[in-house]
Structure 1
Amino acid sequence: MTRQSITLAEKNDEWLKNQVAEQEFNSKSEAVNYLIKKARDQKEYDDYVRLKLSKAEKSDFSTLTKDELLSKIKSKYNNV
């Protein structure tokens, strides 16, 4: 693992310290790595949804409502 030095706003540092104190994470580094992973996962999910919705819009035909289509996409993504 690479070692980094970052500067945090006091409020963010306090939040990280609290996460460790409450035993949500073993260290501030673990918390930061978790947050980065969640952000990457969210971006992948957002990109996937955008792609599927774009593809559906371009197909010119669907019997599904927007909500049904979104639900189907979410279900498929969660099963991957």
Structure 2
Amino acid sequence: MARQSISLTEPNDEWLKAQVDSQEYASKSELVNDLIRQARKQQAEIDWVRTKLEKAEKSGFTSLTKEQILAEAKASING
């Protein structure tokens, strides 16, 4: 596993300590890794939406209802 040294602002460090102290996480490293996983997942979802929007803009109009479009989008996200 790669090791990194990072500098945190005091409020961010205090927040990390509070999360560990509340036993939400076992260590700051575990928490930081979880935050990064969440950010990566969020970015993947944003990229997916962006790709869909770009494709939709290029394809023109659709005959699908908004409910059908929403159902299709949810199905694609949930795999």
Give me the TM-score of the superposition, normalised by structure 1: 0.82
Give me the TM-score of the superposition, normalised by structure 2: 0.83
The aligned counterpart of 2:54 is 54
Which runs of 5 or more residues in structure 2 are unaligned? none
Change (3 A) 1:57 1:31: same
Q: Which has the higher contact order (CA 8 A, sep 6+)?
A: 1
Please report the RMSD computed on the Cα atoms of aligned residues, expressed in angstroms. Answer: 1.9
Q: How many residues end up aligned between the 2 structures?
A: 79
Identity %: 57
Change (3 A) 1:71 1:15: farther
Which runs of 5 or more residues in structure 1 are unaligned? none
Alignment check: 8 A CA contact 1:17 1:28 kept = yes
